[in-house]
Amino acid sequence: MNALGKHLLLELKDCDKEVLNDLNFLRGALLAAARECGATVLGDSFHQFSPHGVSGVVIIAESHLFIHTWPEYGYAAADIFTCGDSVQPERAAQELTRKLGSKNHSIVEVRRGILDSC
Amino acid sequence: MNALGKHLLLELKDCDKEVLNDLNFLRGALLAAARECGATVLGDSFHQFSPHGVSGVVIIAESHLFIHTWPEYGYAAADIFTCGDSVQPERAAQELTRKLGSKNHSIVEVRRGILDSC
């Protein structure tokens, strides 16, 4: 079944709580994950929240990677949305899961844009 | 069942093809959708692709809105990810669907961060 996009939804639980509140670390991890899957990075934007938590996006030519963290719960939600056959989002998912030290994670893959004409 | 985040995945088919390739229109539509649901906008980033297609994100204090368009298919994938009870992401979804003129759309709601401790 052909689809225009592949969207991985990562539930990352029991992560290292310190890194979940470290904007620079998370930015580096998301950029590394983007490169790991073979994506072309176009830009990024990260925000630190008070008293804790970080949101960040890396925009890639093949779509995007996103992360939202809740350090107080050791939890992060991450999305890896890619299109085209030149990238391997599963590799980005592995890289991110490892770097955040998640001891309990799940991944749901959603095919986006399943069209009769594509 | 408590969850930290609510994530709406919008499949917007049979849209107005012209607006799907109009970066300024899409930026305005996504920002309006963010405001419509009561979110606090922190920033945005949009990219025009060649020969067609636009990717854009609006980062909100309550998480994010994202859109990727394929004008050649009249299709857009949009995400509305929110946390907290102060925003109504369904209103943003309605606003976006209407503005893009989608005649065939579906929405999947995913609860993110279902934790024993939250």
ipTM of the modeled complex: 0.94
**B55–A45 C-beta distance less than 8 A:** no
The C-alpha atoms of residue B95 and residue B107 are separated, in whole angstroms, by 13
Mean pLDDT of B58-69: 95
Instruction: Report strand pairing: A63-70 vs B41-48.
Output: unpaired
pLDDT of A57 higher than 90: yes
Tell me which residues of B are annotated as active site: 63, 68, 83
Residue with tokens 């920033």: B43
The percent of residues above 70 in pLDDT, for chain B, comes to: 99
Tokens 């969850």 sit on residue:
B3
Q: Chain B residue closest to A104 (CA)?
A: B115
The mean pLDDT of A23-32, rounded to a whole number, is 97
* CA–CA gap between residue B97 and residue B13 (Å, rounded): 9
Chain A positions in Cβ-Cβ contact with residue B57 (cut-off 8 Å): 45, 57, 59, 64, 66
- Is the model's pLDDT at B62 over the cut of 70? yes
Confidence of residue B118 (pLDDT cuts 50, 70, 90): low
B17, B42, B112, B117: best to mutate for the A interface, most A CBs within 10 A: B112
**Chain A interface disruption, residue of B14, B67, B73, most A CBs within 10 A:** B73
Which whole number is the average pLDDT over B65-81?
97
A71's enclosing H/E stretch is none
Cβ neighbours of B28 (radius 10 Å): 12
Which residues in chain B touch residue A57, judged by CB atoms under 8 angstroms apart? 45, 57, 59, 64, 66
Mean pLDDT in residue range B50-79: 96
The yes-or-no verdict on residue B75 having pLDDT over 90 is yes
pLDDT of B2 > 90? The answer is: no
Token pair, residue A67, equals: 């992360």
> Distance, in angstroms, between A50 CA and closest chain B CA?
11
